Structure 1
């Protein structure tokens, strides 16, 4: 490899000298930064807010951690917000290792540790509540990191992210960390509107390539054979699985008949082990399902660890749970839980004790656990990457009904696959069943990005908080700053442009369709009237005297308009029909514009 030229060395030195704090921060890491990480840090050092949109596992948090470093250098505070308590707890531990207990605090619904610290990790709602309460903690705040900011699309909690971004003082620099979304530039434009100078940094490069698979029966097949083309073997198997089976009546119906024997969960884990796909996260969208999967693996005698790993697992369990009273072991299922961990098997969900979850997370990060059956909360940024990710179903309960997994959720879940610096590739594995269509799986797997849509909808509670904190007028105006309103306004601009284009086209058509013999507009007015009356005539049935009389009245009006047309000078124009087509086209555009105007009116309010 050739050494850099003097000019290249000079350019590199100049770049380092222009951002000395980034250079100092980068020196504390054993690896070099990617371009998007460097760029994000540079913008932050330049005093700007920044939106980082990159795939899961790409290293977005480097820029968030740089904000904590800058707060130390600049003598102000940094708040690091996350969507869930588990992620807050993990980030708190990470930052304590960097800065020590005295410099880092934690605020969640369950915990309050060192809340006056220079760096405070918190769930997003905690910061929103601080803003509404007029907390003094915000006075010396210099930076806010909003991890998983794409969560603002969440139907139930997304508005909290927007409330913070709208109401935090503009002097505070924001680091927004997002998954790859297709409209990151639009989101960045909104951030500039509500926050001031904000730079958008994008990266679509996964540090570890991800390969998509489907498990059909006992076979693991590649989902794609070429770029975007579904494996024909999968299509053949699906086609052959459609059998003629008896319906509820004497007739026969075509239905998907489960002629392929599905593997049990323990058998699937063994299959993953045979293929070298472990360690893996196995997503099951229910707590009971996760616990049941662990129990079935234990019943089948599955063990994935060697004697040295078992010994280390026992040591970590003892260290993490030493404060747990032994008399509580029975009611908490401690012995069964510990036995499963020793075998390299665990469940991870919101129903676990915090110390149980922390133990599982540490063991998995160290490679001592081989399979974790988890609910989707594990996909929300918790640092538990695996070699493979398994999705049992592509349908989940969203709190109101069973819905299909969205492209965004699929990307988030499978983004855990592939450990940077450890794996050369990651694997996403979908379990086939008779209700599933491979085309749906292919659609999810091939959708690399998805649009970020605001879920912002003002509630009574939000309105009351805004009025109480900011007064009626500012509260009303602030609601107009939402991302939902911004997206609606941008759409209005597009509608207005189309209406303007239509108006120009209408004018051109009418001017180009005139006749030298008379007023073509007057002539066409009569033709349009006849068309309208004929439509009324054909849509009415004669069932009574009054209706018959009305029918006769319509016939009389039509006859009158036809006489008017016959006597009109434009009736004898040689270009009459071509001119008429121009007016008819203009009329269609006028109708279209009326619809666009109605849509505009519907979009001007959230």
Structure 2
């Protein structure tokens, strides 16, 4: 049996060179040849490989598995690079996996620089580039699905599993365990897979060493390091946060990452730090120069601009990508002294941090508030002190707020009474002691000390069984029932949990048989199967949006002649996307606020009001139709039960309300989550482009899709630029140009909005219909609020006059789907009398159907480009021909 060994060596800071791949004229090189080639290349780059790296690379050259259980910043990326190099030299296909798409994408582009675009590919579930390349970067689920489909026949050599502590993630841990089980060796042979498991917080790895060696026939070597490349010092602070940060900055211990456990706390805390004196005059001037040309959007961008000029950054997932990248770049240049962010900094964030300051030792985990686990603490603390930047890192934990206030009061009393402890005691006795808030989960210096020395908790198995797993297993040439049983019994689950998983697998098989997806054989066939698929699954099954086939089927229910067809297609697509809960939650809050005022005005009593409010949800167009179709669809495709249909209206709501991005953020009060909204819009845009069959695309739907793309580009082009970078992956020269542009602090400004005639037309049409809606509701103040400076309709009285004139003749204005039709909207893009403007006319759908009144307006193109949103000035409300 293959054995296991433990190698413990000190480590030193790694370098981050730009690399090229050496070649050899001889046949397949030996392990010694490969090691010499790699180390020679490193020396030619002026790099020194350190002992832990040398040990790991030697073991990889000898074709052993390697577990890199070394601290953050200890050069694990260099070891992974060697694994890819060895695989490429041996003609093997190597895989890099990580838990998040952003990290996979970053690794893809860095490896392209190293090995060339032709040798590197990427698959993340919604993107696939050069998927047949010998080096593949992918999310863990992609590798797990391949392992399920191909088992021992998988074309896999070196497998680098980064952030391997995700093995214990409750939702995704199965994907980290499956490859370890399925990429095993056939009896009497050695597995082709060579694992490199990497994390700073693995804890005890004994069971991995034993099980991997037994399954693969290869030795497993664990590389650890008793010495961090950058040692840490620890401090428990009872000093108020602002004072502590000034103290750290004065002691040259900045940049400081202030860790919060919610985006709201991170944003609010940053705002309270603007008064700190963190920068010298020269630093302020340099920072001002760097920010002078950066394009801050309206909304949170203005707040962030003020923060950055004070040397304070903010970094969390709710921000726009361009802002997070700006904060990272300014931090790397040493221009930010404090970054206020969340505890997600431990994965894939390239920010040099000298000091990590935790505002507490508790977090809400989705179910309850609890103290941090040792692994969580070390993941956060480990970011302090970056190799190549610092010689030491500092970790500070703030005491609970009520403790800090009580300590401050004690210090004040001692200063006042000159050290007379009797008077101090009397003063403190007469003062009400600050108590913790209700429901507070306490921590203390003792908790802190315990976490510092605690080993990461053993990683718990998170195996699960799903329809997708069963269907993947059905694609390999062996009995899927035996394969599933072996997968479950080989997992790290307890016998009781294994029995539960086996029952779940049998239930899934029975449902697939009942649905006619599977057929059962009386005798095993030539592959040993007792059941087999009766239909062909698409090649990319479960890699792209899993409910996309349902969406395509649901589109058949829509009437292309309907006035709302294009919007209904968008609603179908939105129903298969993951909900942006910060946005849908804000929609509910807004609806409740409007509803409660309405109910109070109607005199509804409190109990009934609360009942009605509890039943309110976010807008869900086509909900009943889609849910009925979903139930029908799943009878023939039971695996969709793994996923949840989520009807919602975010894109559609923005269209119907004629919202710009900033309008939506302000209306729903989600400035701290604008990045969440943008990612959702980007996902919707890609899904519309990728999912809707061409024969289902109407001109209006194409217009709306173009509008959505332009909205994203005008807000933050980085998400769509990612597509361009992927598309350029097979063109090294173009890719180099895009990468160089991406490294600038100031991103390329998007094209002028007026240049995208199609998207601007949609925006103008939506804005004009919004005026018609408010006109029908007789909301003159809201109408006046839409008008830009210089319009004659900026006063409610002016709109009131127009309303009186219209309603003297008609009783009502309709604003249904028919009223929104293109027949009642007119646009002249080249009016002879006013160059540089468009003339827009929204005909009002009166109750008699005469259509002889309209809202007339001018679209100022120059102002539109400056504002990055349509600037529309109403010129009159009168009969169409007058």
What TM-score results when the alignment is normalised by the length of structure 2? 0.44
Provide the rounded CA distance (Å) in 2 between the counterparts of 1:339 and 1:126. 42
Based on CA coordinates, which of the two structures has the bigger radius of gyration? 1
Answering whether residue 65 of structure 2 is matched by residue 49 of structure 1, we say yes
Q: Do the aligned residues in 1 keep the contact of 2:201 with 2:378 (CA within 8 Å)?
A: no
Provide the rounded CA distance (Å) in 2 between the counterparts of 1:112 and 1:105. 8
Provide the rounded CA distance (Å) in 1 between the counterparts of 2:83 and 2:221. 16
CA shift, 1:134, in A, is 5.2
- Aligned counterparts, 1:402-413, within 5 A: 402-413=369-380
Give the direction of change, closer, same or farther, for the CA distance of 1:382–1:116 in structure 2 (3 Å limit): farther
CA shift, 1:346, in A, is 1.8
- Aligned counterparts, 1:469-548, within 5 A: 469=475, 471-484=480-493
Give the direction of change, closer, same or farther, for the CA distance of 1:424–1:299 in structure 2 (3 Å limit): closer
Unpaired runs of 5+ residues, structure 1, are: 1-14, 218-262, 490-606
Provide the rounded CA distance (Å) in 2 between the counterparts of 1:474 and 1:110. 28
Give the direction of change, closer, same or farther, for the CA distance of 1:400–1:426 in structure 2 (3 Å limit): same
Equivalence for 2:218:
197
Give the direction of change, closer, same or farther, for the CA distance of 1:139–1:199 in structure 2 (3 Å limit): closer
CA shift, 1:16, in A, is 7.0
Equivalence for 1:417:
384
CA shift, 1:145, in A, is 0.8
**SS, match of residue 427 in structure 1:** strand
Provide the rounded CA distance (Å) in 2 between the counterparts of 1:172 and 1:21. 22
CA shift, 1:423, in A, is 1.8
Equivalence for 1:330:
298
Provide the rounded CA distance (Å) in 1 between the counterparts of 2:264 and 2:84. 39
Q: Do the aligned residues in 2 keep the contact of 1:281 with 1:386 (CA within 8 Å)?
A: yes
Answering whether residue 182 of structure 2 is matched by residue 167 of structure 1, we say yes
Q: Do the aligned residues in 2 keep the contact of 1:83 with 1:124 (CA within 8 Å)?
A: yes
Equivalence for 1:184:
205
Equivalence for 1:297:
273
Q: Do the aligned residues in 1 keep the contact of 2:283 with 2:335 (CA within 8 Å)?
A: no
Answering whether residue 363 of structure 2 is matched by residue 396 of structure 1, we say yes
Give the direction of change, closer, same or farther, for the CA distance of 1:404–1:283 in structure 2 (3 Å limit): same
Give the direction of change, closer, same or farther, for the CA distance of 1:282–1:29 in structure 2 (3 Å limit): farther
Provide the rounded CA distance (Å) in 1 between the counterparts of 2:393 and 2:228. 10
Equivalence for 1:555:
none
Provide the rounded CA distance (Å) in 1 between the counterparts of 2:254 and 2:170. 34
Equivalence for 1:214:
236
CA shift, 1:102, in A, is 4.3
Answering whether residue 464 of structure 2 is matched by residue 458 of structure 1, we say yes
Give the direction of change, closer, same or farther, for the CA distance of 1:347–1:153 in structure 2 (3 Å limit): same
Equivalence for 1:105:
121
Q: Do the aligned residues in 1 keep the contact of 2:34 with 2:86 (CA within 8 Å)?
A: no
Provide the rounded CA distance (Å) in 1 between the counterparts of 2:34 and 2:115. 26
**SS, match of residue 478 in structure 1:** helix
**SS, match of residue 385 in structure 2:** coil
Provide the rounded CA distance (Å) in 2 between the counterparts of 1:396 and 1:454. 20
Provide the rounded CA distance (Å) in 2 between the counterparts of 1:201 and 1:486. 28
Answering whether residue 448 of structure 2 is matched by residue 441 of structure 1, we say yes
CA shift, 1:41, in A, is 0.8
- Aligned counterparts, 1:2-41, within 5 A: 19-27=35-43, 29-41=45-57
- Greater shift, 16-25 or 450-459, is seen at 16-25
Equivalence for 1:306:
283
Q: How many residues align?
A: 418
CA shift, 1:100, in A, is 4.2
Q: Do the aligned residues in 1 keep the contact of 2:66 with 2:223 (CA within 8 Å)?
A: no
Q: Do the aligned residues in 1 keep the contact of 2:56 with 2:223 (CA within 8 Å)?
A: no
Provide the rounded CA distance (Å) in 2 between the counterparts of 1:309 and 1:42. 46
Q: Do the aligned residues in 1 keep the contact of 2:95 with 2:138 (CA within 8 Å)?
A: yes
Q: Do the aligned residues in 1 keep the contact of 2:352 with 2:389 (CA within 8 Å)?
A: no
Answering whether residue 384 of structure 2 is matched by residue 378 of structure 1, we say no
Give the direction of change, closer, same or farther, for the CA distance of 1:214–1:109 in structure 2 (3 Å limit): farther
CA shift, 1:339, in A, is 3.8
Give the direction of change, closer, same or farther, for the CA distance of 1:108–1:342 in structure 2 (3 Å limit): farther
Give the direction of change, closer, same or farther, for the CA distance of 1:190–1:141 in structure 2 (3 Å limit): closer
**SS, match of residue 272 in structure 2:** helix
CA shift, 1:354, in A, is 2.8
Q: Do the aligned residues in 2 keep the contact of 1:212 with 1:428 (CA within 8 Å)?
A: yes
Q: Do the aligned residues in 2 keep the contact of 1:39 with 1:201 (CA within 8 Å)?
A: no
CA deviation digits over 1:457-494, x for unaligned, max 9?
323446634653450111101112223459999xxxxx
Instruction: Give the counterpart of 1:148 among 163, 170, 186.
Output: 163
Instruction: Give the counterpart of 1:286 among 242, 262, 268.
Output: 262
Equivalence for 1:347:
314
CA shift, 1:202, in A, is 2.4
Q: Do the aligned residues in 2 keep the contact of 1:25 with 1:69 (CA within 8 Å)?
A: no
**SS, match of residue 174 in structure 1:** strand
- Aligned counterparts, 1:75-154, within 5 A: 75-109=91-125, 111-132=127-148, 140-154=155-169
CA deviation digits over 1:89-147, x for unaligned, max 9?
332343233234444333335544444444332221232234445599x9544222100
Q: Do the aligned residues in 2 keep the contact of 1:83 with 1:151 (CA within 8 Å)?
A: yes
Q: Do the aligned residues in 1 keep the contact of 2:163 with 2:199 (CA within 8 Å)?
A: yes
CA deviation digits over 1:40-66, x for unaligned, max 9?
111111222211111111112211111
CA shift, 1:201, in A, is 2.6
**SS, match of residue 389 in structure 1:** strand
CA deviation digits over 1:273-299, x for unaligned, max 9?
122220121110111111212222236
Q: Do the aligned residues in 2 keep the contact of 1:281 with 1:374 (CA within 8 Å)?
A: yes
Which one scores higher on RCO, CA 8 angstroms, separation ≥ 6? Answer: 1
Give the direction of change, closer, same or farther, for the CA distance of 1:342–1:86 in structure 2 (3 Å limit): farther
Provide the rounded CA distance (Å) in 1 between the counterparts of 2:46 and 2:308. 31
Provide the rounded CA distance (Å) in 2 between the counterparts of 1:486 and 1:61. 37
- Aligned counterparts, 1:263-274, within 5 A: 263-264=240-241, 266-274=242-250
Give the direction of change, closer, same or farther, for the CA distance of 1:115–1:358 in structure 2 (3 Å limit): farther
Give the direction of change, closer, same or farther, for the CA distance of 1:72–1:344 in structure 2 (3 Å limit): farther
Equivalence for 1:468:
474
**SS, match of residue 474 in structure 2:** helix
CA shift, 1:427, in A, is 0.5
Provide the rounded CA distance (Å) in 1 between the counterparts of 2:82 and 2:494. 32
Provide the rounded CA distance (Å) in 2 between the counterparts of 1:312 and 1:110. 38
Q: Do the aligned residues in 2 keep the contact of 1:166 with 1:195 (CA within 8 Å)?
A: no
RMSD: 3.2
Give the direction of change, closer, same or farther, for the CA distance of 1:294–1:206 in structure 2 (3 Å limit): same
Q: Do the aligned residues in 2 keep the contact of 1:407 with 1:444 (CA within 8 Å)?
A: yes
CA shift, 1:310, in A, is 0.9
Q: Do the aligned residues in 1 keep the contact of 2:201 with 2:375 (CA within 8 Å)?
A: no
Give the direction of change, closer, same or farther, for the CA distance of 1:106–1:134 in structure 2 (3 Å limit): same
**SS, match of residue 480 in structure 1:** helix
What TM-score results when the alignment is normalised by the length of structure 1? 0.62
Give the direction of change, closer, same or farther, for the CA distance of 1:107–1:340 in structure 2 (3 Å limit): farther
Q: Do the aligned residues in 2 keep the contact of 1:36 with 1:201 (CA within 8 Å)?
A: no
Provide the rounded CA distance (Å) in 2 between the counterparts of 1:40 and 1:486. 35
CA deviation digits over 1:374-430, x for unaligned, max 9?
222211253334111111110011122212101111111100111223322110000
Give the direction of change, closer, same or farther, for the CA distance of 1:165–1:206 in structure 2 (3 Å limit): same
- Greater shift, 35-44 or 339-348, is seen at 339-348
CA shift, 1:162, in A, is 0.1
CA shift, 1:160, in A, is 1.3
Equivalence for 2:251:
275
CA shift, 1:432, in A, is 0.8
